[in-house]
Chain A
Amino acid sequence: MVVSATSRPGAGRGPASPGGPPPPGGLWRGVAGRVPARLRRVSLPYLLILPAVLLELLVHLVPMLIGIAMSFLKLTQFFLRNWSAAPFAGLDNYRVAVDFDGAVGRALLHSFLVTVAFTVLTVGLSWLLGICGAVLMQGAFRGRAVLRALFLVPYALPVYAGVITWSFLLQRDSGLVNHVLVEQLHLFDERPFWLIGSNSFWSLIVVCVWRSWPFAFLVLMAGLQNIPHDLYEAAAIDGAGWGRRLRAVTLPMLRPVNQVLVLVLFLWTFNDFTTPYVLFGKSAPHEADLISIHIYQSSFVTWNFGSGSAMSVLLLLFLLLVTAVYLVATSRRRSDA
């Protein structure tokens, strides 16, 4: 392996050259004469991460700082093209956002609570389907590889393509869901609406679970493969049946995997914008007004970016807080166990 790789130096240079920066090897040799070897070794990692750091500053840090600055401005539509003229607003935007007696604050609180309920249900169900799928896929059987690939399709599909298909399925008059529930199973006398009113909340959960359970499945399957087989054998020798092995070996061994998986699913679901936006179009129903779509709509309908930025910053603070508490709580439990 080493011999073949070093004897064909051209093969290694291939992938990086087209369109990329000039191979640093050449650049390096030019500088090498002037810089002492020690300094070179110390500075090399910094040089390697420099482009990434600059880009991260450009696309993350600068917009974030500007976003925080915007949240302290009275940045209404009159100042959008020339924001240096916007008057300083102090904490006004924040005060309005958390004043739950006012219309803006009440709507934000409602949206927040809807998002919390949606996230808890979606993450829970996605995990449940994922663990069922992963456990049932254990062992060798015919069709396993095909089934696994099929299960991954909703995750591989562009999000909007999957969600558009669901919005067709959920149409009141021409959709499959009502055809099955009303025409075939006769569960309802009248065709229900699934994309407006209180049903829209459940539609949103079903669509989101459809799209995110394959990820849970994927991660949990990888986690199951990492559990040493000896543990099952030992448990079986001690007389543990299938259900007992699941409870006493599989689930405890998956705990570190679950810790990360649940966090990632939580953050994705809580911030989900695409599913409600594509499913409901420009105006989400009141019952399914997720926080991302709420901030988006209140920013681009009223063009009050100051208030929108304040809400985004509050959202970020909430997510950081939840993540920190979650990591501390789950890590402590892990070291106790």
Chain B
Amino acid sequence: MRDPRWLPWARWIGLGLLGLFTLTPLYVMLTSAIKPLRDVQGDFHWIPTTITLRPFADMWRTVPLARYFANSLVVASVAALISVIVAIFAAYAISRFRFPGRRIFSVTVLSTQMFPGILFLLPLFMIYVNLGTALGVELYASRTGLIITYLTFSLPFSIWMLAGYFDSIPTALDEAAQVDGSGPVGALLRVVLPAATPGIVAVAIYAFMTAWGEVLFASVMTDESSRTLAVGLQGYATENDVYWNQIMAASLVVSVPVVAGFLLLQRYLVQGLTAGAVK
């Protein structure tokens, strides 16, 4: 079986165009972050004429970026941690036990993942506001409240992805552990969890990433003190000036950790993300 002679050419032209489309915005993000303000306000230039690192220093002062950072970090980590811990047990049950209600549970989990976020936004907003008025529980505009709303999407896909990972671990491992005297839960903790660690880390990273990038709930459920990066970055556009160089610098800084995490765990993430579709 030989590939046609034009294939290498088509490959480089096709992939080149795709690369251009993909990389141009990333190139602009990188180069605009090191331009002085006047160079991002006038006509665009491909090559920066003056290079400065000032935007990376100024961006912390124009908006309280450090606070937004801390809020995003807390909210995304706690949401990821809770969903992964709860999901481990549920996913293990789905993967290893055949029990009445299993199917309806997994289908429900899968379908809630597909529901529009706006459907939950208005009721959650109402619940939070009214809990505040009625019981004095201030969930509205608090980080706790935001964490709970983020579980609406991070929990379902954590269960779903983890069940996929557990399925890929041979049940012979659990059985061997049970012969050695562990119960099913002991087998989960001693054998399945260590074998699934990369998958679990990947799911946690993915849950963290989605919470880190979430805008809809954050735009409504936060105030100045609980604001996350996703909404806070809009603060660089003031009435007088839009600090595009600082926006690009800040975008770069908030992106690097998640992109690095994604690319490092790429193999496991891809396996989990595509498992449902490919199987």
CA distance A171 to B42 in the complex (A): 11
Roughly how many angstroms separate A295 CA and B120 CA in the complex, as a whole number? 12
Whether A296 lies near B118 (C-beta < 8 A) is yes
Q: Is B263 an interface residue (CB 8 A)?
A: yes
Alpha-carbon separation in the docked complex, A232 to B130 (Å): 62
| Least CB distance, B128 to chain A, in whole angstroms | 10
On whether the beta carbons of B87 and A158 are closer than 8 Å, the reply is no
Q: Tell me whether A129 and B185 are in contact in the complex, defined as CB-CB below 8 angstroms, given that A21-B85, A45-B93, A141-B11 are known contacts.
A: no
Question: Within A281-337, which residues are at the interface with B (CB < 8 Å)?
Answer: 281, 292, 295-296, 299-300, 305, 308-309, 312-313, 315-316, 319, 323
On whether the beta carbons of B40 and A67 are closer than 8 Å, the reply is no
With an 8 A cutoff between CB atoms, is A96 at the interface?
no
Given the interface pairs A52-B87, A296-B121, A315-B118, the reply to whether A15 lies near B197 with Cβ below 8 Å is yes
Which one, A19, A165, A210, A305, contacts B81 given CB within 8 A? A19
B209 in complex: contacting residue of A15, A156, A219, CB < 8 Å: A156
Q: Which of A24, A232, A278 contacts B215 (CB 8 A)?
A: A278
Residues on the B chain within 8 Å of A14, using CB: 194
Q: Is B151 an interface residue (CB 8 A)?
A: yes
Q: Is the CB of B266 within 8 A of A149?
A: yes
**Complex CA–CA separation, A223 to B22 (angstroms):** 22
Q: Please indicate the chain A residues that have their CB under 8 angstroms from the CB of B25 in the complex.
A: 154, 162, 165-166, 169, 210
Interface string of B1-27 (1 = CB under 8 A from A): 101100110110011001101111110
On chain A, the number of residues with a Cβ less than 8 Å from chain B's Cβ atoms is 117
Q: Point out the residues of chain B lying under 8 angstroms from A16, CB to CB.
A: 85, 88, 189, 193
CA A158 to CA B256, docked complex, whole Å = 10
B180 sits at the interface (CB 8 A): yes
Q: How many residues of B contact A (CB 8 A)?
A: 118
Contact with B along A252-289 (1 / 0, CB 8 A): 00000100110010010011011001100100000000
Please give the residue numbers on chain B whose beta carbons come within 8 Å of chain A beta carbons, in ascending order: 1, 3-4, 7-8, 10-11, 14-15, 18-19, 21-26, 28-29, 32, 40-46, 81, 85-90, 92-94, 97, 99, 101-102, 105, 108-109, 112, 114-127, 129-130, 133, 148-149, 151-152, 155-156, 159, 172-173, 176-177, 180, 182-186, 189-191, 193-195, 197, 200, 209, 212-216, 219-220, 229-230, 233-234, 237, 244, 247-248, 251-252, 254-255, 258-259, 262-263, 266, 270, 273-274, 276-278
Query: A52-B155, A242-B7 are known contacts; what are 9 more A-B pairs with Cβ within 8 Å?
Result: A11-B190, A23-B185, A45-B93, A82-B130, A83-B130, A137-B15, A165-B248, A222-B274, A312-B119
